[in-house]
Amino acid sequence: MANKARAFMFGYSKSSSFVAKQLSKEQLYLTLVLSSSEACDRAYADGYVNIKQIDITDDNELESLDVQESDYLICLLEDKHLNLFLTLSLHALFPETVIIALSDSFHTTQKLKLAGAKHIIDIYQVSANRLHNILYKPVTTKLVERLLSPDEDFSFREMVIPQNSIIDKVMVDEFDFEKHSIIMVGMIDQRLSNKFLFVTSGVENRFDSGDTIVCIGYNDDLEKFEEYINQEKE
């Protein structure tokens, strides 16, 4: 096992079971990281034995996996919002470790790249060859992907919604962040509490003046978005 690369795969569903099957054929040590007993039961029934059940929204439990820089983190959750949140969390905890994520659309791919995923697997194009290239030909894969998508500076930004902002009283779910090429991570909604709420919390939030929002994106896009929310309603 000492000579094998290690991979942690998060999620086990109909769409991701194919990926697990292909990965199990590769020369690596695969661990399935799952959050529900139902998923664990399905994985055990399919013959997998190296399974860890944890709360993937808890950073302490993620850190308990003892991830090393040479490992691979593969995010394959069915809930694309939770998958994005997991990618963000893993990138924050293990910034030097390669993260591979599953995508079902162009927009999801862009968000996952911003969140820190090094490689994106299109759910309709996933194959053994693609996985093999990512795991065992990283230099070639990196060069090709840099040609297709050159790196740019991106970061998190905290913004306070000003009085009479153009987004004041707008429901979060109704606002199109993709139009501004950024991702909203969460906010402090003063109407509900003074606690930070992630967009995956399931709570219906509304933008109000004085609320604080946290977004991730390329720096130029963040600058433009901050200028946008500083505009006053007509």
Task: Give just the sign of the alpha carbon dihedral 64, 13, 29, 53.
Answer: positive
Is-same-fold flag (5-148; 154-229)?
Answer: no
Tell me yes or no: is domain 154-229 CATH 3.40.640.10.
no
What φ, ψ does residue 164 adopt, rounded to 5°?
A: 60, 30
Tens digits of residue pLDDT in 158-210: 899 999 999 999 998 889 888 888 888 888 887 777 677 776 555 678 899 99
pLDDT band at residue 31 using 50, 70 and 90 as cut-offs: very high
Considering the chain, what percentage of its residues have pLDDT values greater than 90?
A: 39
Across-strand partners of 165? Answer: 232
Whether 34 contacts 59, CB under 8 Å: no
Give dist(CA 63, CA 54) in Å, integer. 11
Contact residues for 60 (Cβ-Cβ < 8 A; gap 6+): none
Contact residues for 28 (Cβ-Cβ < 8 A; gap 6+): 4, 5, 6, 7, 72, 135
**Domain locations along the chain:** 5-148, 154-229
Give dist(CA 54, CA 73) in Å, integer. 15
Taking residues 68-88, what's their average pLDDT? 90
Q: How many CA atoms lie within 13 A of 196 on its CB side?
A: 8
Give dist(CA 196, CA 185) in Å, integer. 10
Environment class of residue 217 by beta-carbon count within 10 Å: exposed (0-12), middle (13-18) or buried (19+)?
buried
pTM: 0.55
User: What is the CATH number assigned to the segment(s) 5-148?
Assistant: 3.40.50.720
Tens digits of residue pLDDT in 128-154: 445 555 565 554 454 445 434 444 466
pLDDT at 14 over 80: no
Using only the alpha carbons of the chain, give its radius of gyration: 19
Helices 138-148/128-136 angle, 10° precision: 100
